[in-house]
Amino acid sequence: MAESSAAELPHPLGLLAELTHRCPLGCPYCSNPLALDARETELEAVTWGRVFREAAALGVLQTHLSGGEPGARRDLVEITAAAHAAGLYTNLITSGIGVTASRLAELADAGLDHIQISIQDSFEAAADHIAGYQGAFARKRALAAAAVRLGLPLTVNAVIHRANIDRVSEMVELALRLGAGRVEIANVQYYGWALKNRAALMPERAQVERAATTVEGLRARHLGRIVIDAVVPDYYARYPKPCMGGWGRRSLNVTPAGKVLPCHAAETIPGLEFWSVRTHSLAEIWRDSPAFNTFRGTAWMKAPCAHCPRRAQDFGGCRCQAFALSGDAAAADPVCHLSPDHAQVAALAAIRSETSYAYRRMAGIG
């Protein structure tokens, strides 16, 4: 590993706290693993409090309270208060289902700093179809209104795929009507349930190019009114993105059961050893965990990444995607046009299916 000494080891800045895998929605693009953590394995609120304090001591500045649907945790207010007490900026990532206006007010009183609400489309019938939950769209809009009344900064996360990519403009307009200060045009990342549904979700290249042009126009039109974040979907990119800012460089992901991952999909790579906050401190895990050190830095790289001038910029791309597409987690991310496996990315992107979605489902969401 290239960054082995304590002096060279970067400090993590963000913590993704997956409080639960329970969720009432069935979004077919969910990045949660296919094997979801059961309710009885979830970390207790007191353990989350310790994790937040240890994260702050490591240099973490913000935590994203996520899931699943974090609103499924009856102790969400207690958990939020613990993150706030640790000095972390707290962002609630919610489907909008399971968090009422009164509960949101309690969360704000407990120290919640920001809320991110996902939307599945710009109109109710399509949005509820994608979510697999009738009435979801109306409840999301109601929660957004409650957030604005409370003065909480609001981000709308619009997940983009073949069925809705031609309505990017309408989704930005919806975000404006909801009072959001930021909207994320979040192209589906093909891990977890999204990988299972890839052929049903993958947009065509022409759709991607039209959407990119539309986004640039929207940014110019709404400059100063709303921030529009968007990136080219991986399968249509020329170079890979530095996943999570580089493996084990900037962030940690704690699963509902307490495993600590370098990224949310890392468990898809076989043979990695993940340590748990139940048995190790966060500092020990960040510094010494075998999983974090396997792909940290650049020393693990082989051709073409090992001698690429971009190796310290994109760090070889996504390790989970490299494994999913090539069978080798140490290979160059096949998204990169320099990868010997790049041709199969175009071939996979061309596969289309009009079959029904395989919805994400989990028993016992209460």
Q: Which residues of 289-313 are buried (b: 16+ CB within 10 A; e: fewer)?
A: bebbbbbbbbebbeeebeebeebee
pLDDT for 363 equals 52
Each residue's pLDDT tens digit, 245-275:
899 999 999 999 999 999 999 999 999 999 9
Strand, helix or coil for residue 118: strand
**Cα–Cα dist 30/45, whole Å:** 25
Each residue's pLDDT tens digit, 170-205:
999 999 999 999 999 999 999 899 999 999 999 999
**Cα–Cα dist 363/68, whole Å:** 12
pLDDT exceeds cutoff 80 at 1: no
Q: Using an 8 Å Cβ cutoff, are 161 and 188 in contact?
A: yes
Mark residue 15 as left, alpha or beta (left: phi above 0; alpha: psi -120 to 50; beta: remaining). Answer: beta
State the distance between the two ends of the chain, measured CA to CA, in whole angstroms.
43
Instruction: Kindly state the helix (H) or strand (E) to which residue 251 belongs, with its residue range.
Output: strand 251-254
pLDDT exceeds cutoff 70 at 166: yes
Each residue's pLDDT tens digit, 92-133:
999 999 899 999 999 999 999 999 999 999 999 999 999 999
DSSP-derived secondary structure for 220-245:
HHTTTT-EEEE---GGG-SS---GGG
